[in-house]
Amino acid sequence: MKKFLEEAAFQHNPLRILVDFVEKEEKKESVKDYDNWRFVGYVLDIGYNTTTIITSDPFKKAVGGIPRNSLLIMVPSNFWEFPPHFTLLRVLETAPTPLTKEVQQTYFELQKKSMPELDIFTQSELQWGALKTSVLGMYYPHPDDNDKLEFSGDLNSFVSAHKYRVYAPDDALLDLIINSLVPLEKQFNIGKLRLTESRLPLPDTSLPNVDVSVSTLDFMGTRTAMFGKTRLGKSNVIKIIAQSLIETARVCEGDGRTHNVGQIIFDINGEYANDNPQDDNRSIRSAYPDDCTVYAITQKDSTPSEPLRLDFYAHPNLSHHLIKTFIRDEERHPPDYVNSFLSVEIPSFESLEERERQDQIRGRRKILVFWAILHSAGFQPNLSTLRDLGGFDPRFAERTRRIVYGDGVPLPTINSLDSLLNELRLFAEADRAGPRLQSTSGNHNLFDSDDEALLRFLFPTSTTASGPRKLQKYRIYHDPHATNFVEEILEGLGRGQTVILDLSNAHPEVMQYFSQWLTEEIFSHQVELFSNNDLRDHYIQLYFEEAHNLFPADEAKITDIYSRIAKEGAKYHIGMVYSTQSPSTISGDLLAQTENFFVAHISAKNEVKTLANLNVAFENIQEDILHSKTPGYLRMLTRAHRFVVPVQARRFSPMTSQPGGQ
């Protein structure tokens, strides 16, 4: 069988590395090269889920130590009688041996007698111990292809414990264990394997030096979670994932696309759009300027960007809501006339279509008064957009206009914001002078209480009231051409660009508005492509920070669009990367749908338990997550990986090329 393995069927199988490893270890044993031997010990007790092994101090020293969560391999003693295979074990904790009580008694007696040195026979007895390990699964040749391997999360069978041997894998075998299940297509390096937080090597030994790879296929159209306390490397990994898609998703099909994955990052802290020289922290945009476009509310001199703003005229209900939020946040007790203005419900143009004709006219009139307020506050209009939205005429009845303007005076045409403002001023003055202006039916006043509140804000009765001037500071959020940037972003995503929305220093309401609006537009766009059978191989990747605000644990508070993205996004080629500190604050539906996890240090036991309840792969590494606080030290579980991989994420830096990228 040994000769067969060397010369025939499995010559090109990745498990050839295992064959070479076992052969080298047997040679070391035969020449008594125990200092370099990778042998760890024997199996004391074996089961489908856990296995207890016995080992000794010299064995542990020779392999550089066996820390908790380290990986070991178990092979049959008669290895050459079977196709090459091994069982992967993860060290959990120490375990008692049949002689544990006797050993403890010996230690007690020695310490009591203050014996300075152990004799060789006692030392030989005391150096043995046991370790409890979890069974992660088996690696074996693929049944249908001798050039491939396969992994199963269980054991097909096992025999008596004494018929197995346990080894500590070398770097080549660790590379096979960690990376062999990752698709070769679109591979990308994310960091180094780090089995334990401690990096203190034993004398004459070295720590593992194994690169950890991911395939960007695992992120496309899937959900990826980042958990852990702040300042522990979540943002750095997000940059690496975005970088991996930029590097590996390039296309040269002549259809105008640069990549088959478009990305949009909702950058609430500005760290993906802007460099931070103090932290030596480079942004995605500066690393890949040709592949990235930044949209910013507040433009920065060092970062080229496009304006990210709202056309307050085109979206009167939303802009009034934003203004209300701004003012109420800044002033605890605004004046009564301001409070009345903020309490008005401004309709949207879409809602007017559902009303009867007379109600439509009255609703439009409120919008036009709001337009006049914006105009008085210096908000620059896009006149073409305003004409398309119905123009400027409030459509007061001719009989009422005659009362206001007087007989014999030509009635002006209302075709501009200035003429609208003048007409509203005359009507407000006439209504205040009395008697009250009446509707044409004569059944009620021409202006209802909301109209009066708007007109009182537009034309304050007090000379000390600021009125529309109060809104001037909010003009930074307005752009008369803002309706076009959504189309520009969708077009950029279609080409495969990485779009970064710099929301730093923006009001939370503005962040929420832009995030929701763009997500809705992206989702609608992808649904349309899907309906027309035009999705092809094109994907869109969304990046959300502080995800508990968008996907709260209380399902009733989730905005519909985010719920649909979580549940239906994969069907429409929409992937999502989201980060937050605590798993328990996130929607259970989203957690259940999440395929990829990157977990840094979490300090609360209940949070780690939530994670373990969500995915059993984290069950045995809860203590590690609770106690390891090194920045960038993460536990990774992707769609390709069948078990959690501890990795020290590399620091984000630009790459001009990446081996394995296609």
Kindly tell me if the per-residue pLDDT of 118 is higher than 60: no
Scanning the structure block, which residue is given the tokens 């008692």?
A: 96
Query: Residue type for 93, please?
Result: E
Q: Read off the pLDDT of each residue in 31-58 and give the average, rounded to a whole number.
A: 91
How far, in Å, CA of 446 to CA of 154, rounded?
78
Scanning the structure block, which residue is given the tokens 């980042």?
A: 226
User: For residue 624, what pLDDT is reported?
Assistant: 93
113 falls in which pLDDT band (50, 70, 90)? low
The Cα-based distances of 53 to 61, 88, 612 in angstroms read: 16, 13, 25
User: For residue 110, what pLDDT is reported?
Assistant: 56
Q: Which helix (H) or strand (E) holds 157?
A: none
421 falls in which pLDDT band (50, 70, 90)? very high
Q: pLDDT tens-digit profile of 308-363?
A: 888 999 999 989 998 998 999 888 899 999 999 999 999 999 999 888 888 999 99
Do the beta carbons of residue 235 and residue 271 sit within 8 Å? yes
Q: Length of the chain in residues, anyone?
A: 662
Q: Read off the pLDDT of each residue in 237-253 and give the average, rounded to a whole number.
A: 93
Pairing assessment for the beta strands 223-227 and 211-215 based on DSSP bridges? unpaired
* Beta carbons within 8 Å of 524's beta carbon, 6+ residues apart: none
Q: pLDDT tens-digit profile of 49-66?
A: 999 999 988 899 999 999
Share of the chain above pLDDT 90, in %: 67
Residue 470 per-residue DSSP state:
G
Which of 589, 661, 601, 659 minimizes the C-alpha distance to 625?
601
User: For residue 279, what pLDDT is reported?
Assistant: 64
pTM comes to: 0.85
What DSSP line would sit under 170-190, residue for residue?
-HHHHHHHHHTTS-STTEEEE
* Beta carbons within 8 Å of 103's beta carbon, 6+ residues apart: 97, 125, 126
Which is higher by pLDDT, 473 or 119?
A: 473
How far, in Å, CA of 488 to CA of 258, rounded?
16
Q: Read off the pLDDT of each residue in 211-227 and give the average, rounded to a whole number.
A: 96
User: For residue 99, what pLDDT is reported?
Assistant: 66
How far, in Å, CA of 385 to CA of 388, rounded?
5
659 falls in which pLDDT band (50, 70, 90)? very low
Scanning the structure block, which residue is given the tokens 């039916």?
A: 441
How far, in Å, CA of 660 to CA of 662, rounded?
6
- Per-residue tokens: 90: 């993860």
- 8-17, 37-46, 323-332, 633-642: which has the minimum mean pLDDT? 8-17
In angstroms, how far is CA 100 from the centroid of its own chain? 48
User: For residue 9, what pLDDT is reported?
Assistant: 62
Angle 113-119-125 from CA coordinates, rounded to 5° = 95
Which of 547, 615, 612 minimizes the C-alpha distance to 577?
547
Q: Which helix (H) or strand (E) holds 480?
A: none
DSSP bridge partners of 646 = 635
Mean of pLDDT over the chain: 89
User: For residue 441, what pLDDT is reported?
Assistant: 72
Pairing assessment for the beta strands 539-544 and 261-267 based on DSSP bridges? parallel
Backbone angles phi, psi at 647, to 5 degrees: -135, 140
Q: Is the peptide bond before 84 cis (omega within 30 degrees of 0)?
A: no
User: For residue 277, what pLDDT is reported?
Assistant: 75
Residue 300 per-residue DSSP state:
B
Strand order across the 306-307 sheet: 211-215, 187-193, 645-649, 633-637, 596-599, 223-227, 574-580, 539-544, 261-267, 498-502, 292-296, 306-307
User: For residue 121, what pLDDT is reported?
Assistant: 47
- Give SS3 for 103: helix
How far, in Å, CA of 488 to CA of 499, rounded?
10
* Beta carbons within 8 Å of 517's beta carbon, 6+ residues apart: 486
How far, in Å, CA of 75 to CA of 87, rounded?
7
Query: Residue type for 621, please?
Result: I
How far, in Å, CA of 447 to CA of 424, rounded?
11
Q: pLDDT tens-digit profile of 462-513?
A: 988 999 999 999 999 999 988 778 889 999 999 999 999 999 888 888 888 8
Cβ-based neighbour number of residue 564 at 10 Å: 17
DSSP bridge partners of 134 = 50, 90
